[in-house]
């Protein structure tokens, strides 16, 4: 004999089973489906979401339900079971994952991924499975609103749980590779940055994804935003600072667009706040490389950064002065030579021994042919005490 405590539950499961059999049987027309659909909606409104038997019935019937509204109601009931009953949550989540994989309608995929997100956010042990299914759906998604929902769901799971972060990063990276609109790439980059800031352990993975995205023919606006996000990540996680510096240096050498060159050198400049010696060494070596020496914009970017970083400290000024003196001998552009002279005088102000700098400026003065640069050299040498002060002009 059944106890009074379980009788209402058994009656509810029996009623649910009867309605699901009608809906999933395939014998009803669209007009005939309205009654069972209303009945299922009524059951869902009073559904307590704790019945294991109900979860089994719903999971079994969901693949066979062809009616759109009934399918959505059944999926919501499974979500409620997973939220309220962790014991039955895995089975309910499996049913929802299967529904996402089978679903042909983009609007339903949009909503099903939201249900998976809700379950994953509620139970950490189910978050990875939910994120994996959503990432797979996003990888083959062609509908823009559905893809936006899937990206948002992945981001939410990756931000909340470190265990789901690698899946979210891989899924968002896959979408980013196929993105052809700048605003899409920028939003994805911002989402990946947020995950890396929340879980610094995965900063190296995110920087690798961003480097690939910026390499794949990205426009200048996208590159500028990606480099900003990468800088934030590297400053937040000192362990990945050398990786970020190496990526930025490599990108400068391979870029040809003026805007992209300065975006990547700006990364180096900003990262120097955390480790100036590392960045200055990279700039010094880069300035001597053929890839930089053969490109005027790259030389100017490196020279400006070295000149600016020469004011960081005495040790850093010593490294900068050696690199700038070498560059002064080989620089073909007069404007760049004047920038180098300014950087060398910054080194002098930081108490670097002026003897080598004075000799380098003297040698350059002997062979200088540009009038403005020659005047700059003479002023610099006078300030170093090598040339006599310029004669004072007395008005007639």
Q: In whole angstroms, what is the distance from residue 227 CA to residue 90 CA?
A: 40
pLDDT at 108: 93
Q: What is the pLDDT of residue 349?
A: 84
Please indicate, yes or no, whether the overall pTM of this predicted structure exceeds 0.75.
Answer: yes
What pLDDT, on the 0 to 100 scale, is given for residue 2? Answer: 44
Q: What is the pLDDT of residue 263?
A: 92
pLDDT tens profile 159-168: 999 999 999 9
| Percent with pLDDT over 70 in the chain | 92
CA angle 274, 278, 281 (to 5 degrees): 145
Q: Which residues of 338-375 are buried (b: 16+ CB within 10 A; e: fewer)?
A: bbbbbbbbbbbebebebeebbebbeebbeebeeeebee
Q: Which tens digit of pLDDT belongs to each residue from 313-368?
A: 888 888 899 999 999 998 999 999 999 999 999 888 877 778 888 899 999 988 98
Residue with tokens 């970017």: 301
**Digit-coded pLDDT (tens) for 279-295:** 999 999 988 888 888 89
Beta strand segments in the chain, E: none
Q: Determine phi and psi for 315, rounding to 5 degrees.
A: -65, -45
- Would you place residue 81 in the very low, low, confident or very high pLDDT band (cuts 50, 70, 90)? confident
Q: Which residue spans within 75-160 are E strands per DSSP? A: none
Please state, in angstroms and rounded to a whole number, the distance separating the CA atoms of residues 78 and 115. 9
pLDDT at position 193 over 70: yes
Q: What is the pLDDT of residues 208-265, one digit of tens each?
A: 999 988 876 578 888 999 999 999 999 999 999 999 999 999 999 888 888 899 999 9
Kindly state the DSSP code that residue 392 receives in the 8-state scheme: P
């Amino acid at each position: 004999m059944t106890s009074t405590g379980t009788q209402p539950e058994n009656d509810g499961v029996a009623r649910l089973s009867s309605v699901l059999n009608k809906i999933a049987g395939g014998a009803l027309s669209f007009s005939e489906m309205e009654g069972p659909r209303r009945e299922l909606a009524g059951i869902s409104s009073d559904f307590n979401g704790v019945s294991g038997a109900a979860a089994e019935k719903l999971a079994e019937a969901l693949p066979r339900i062809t009616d759109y509204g009934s399918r959505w109601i059944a999926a919501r009931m499974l979500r409620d079971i997973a939220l309220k009953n962790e014991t039955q949550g895995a089975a309910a989540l499996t049913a929802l994952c299967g529904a996402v994989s089978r679903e042909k309608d983009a609007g339903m995929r949009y909503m099903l991924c939201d249900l998976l997100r809700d379950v994953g956010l509620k139970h950490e042990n189910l978050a990875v499975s939910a994120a994996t299914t959503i990432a797979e759906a996003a990888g083959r998604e062609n509908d823009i609103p559905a893809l936006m929902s899937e990206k948002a769901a992945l981001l939410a799971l990756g931000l909340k749980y470190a265990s789901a972060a690698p899946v979210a990063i891989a899924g968002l990276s896959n979408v980013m590779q196929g993105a052809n609109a700048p605003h899409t790439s920028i939003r994805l980059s911002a989402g990946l940055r947020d995950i890396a800031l929340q879980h610094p352990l995965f900063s190296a993975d995110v920087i690798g994804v961003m480097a690939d995205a910026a390499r794949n023919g990205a426009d200048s606006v996208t590159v500028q935003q990606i480099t900003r996000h990468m800088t934030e990540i590297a400053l937040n996680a000192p362990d990945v600072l050398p990786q970020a510096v190496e990526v930025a240096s490599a990108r400068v050498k391979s870029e040809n667009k003026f805007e992209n060159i300065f975006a990547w050198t700006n990364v180096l400049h900003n990262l120097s706040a955390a480790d100036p010696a590392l960045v200055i060494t990279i700039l010094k070596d880069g300035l001597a490389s053929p890839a930089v020496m053969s490109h005027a914009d790259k030389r100017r970017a490196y020279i400006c950064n070295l000149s600016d970083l020469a004011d960081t400290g005495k040790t850093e000024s010593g490294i900068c002065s050696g690199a700038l003196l070498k560059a002064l001998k080989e620089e073909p552009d007069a404007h760049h030579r004047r920038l180098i002279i300014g950087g060398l005088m910054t080194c002098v102000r930081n108490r670097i021994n002026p003897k080598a700098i004075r000799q380098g400026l003297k040698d350059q003065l002997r062979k200088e042919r540009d009038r403005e640069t020659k005047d700059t050299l003479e002023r610099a040498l006078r300030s170093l005490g090598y040339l006599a002060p310029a004669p004072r002009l007395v008005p007639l």
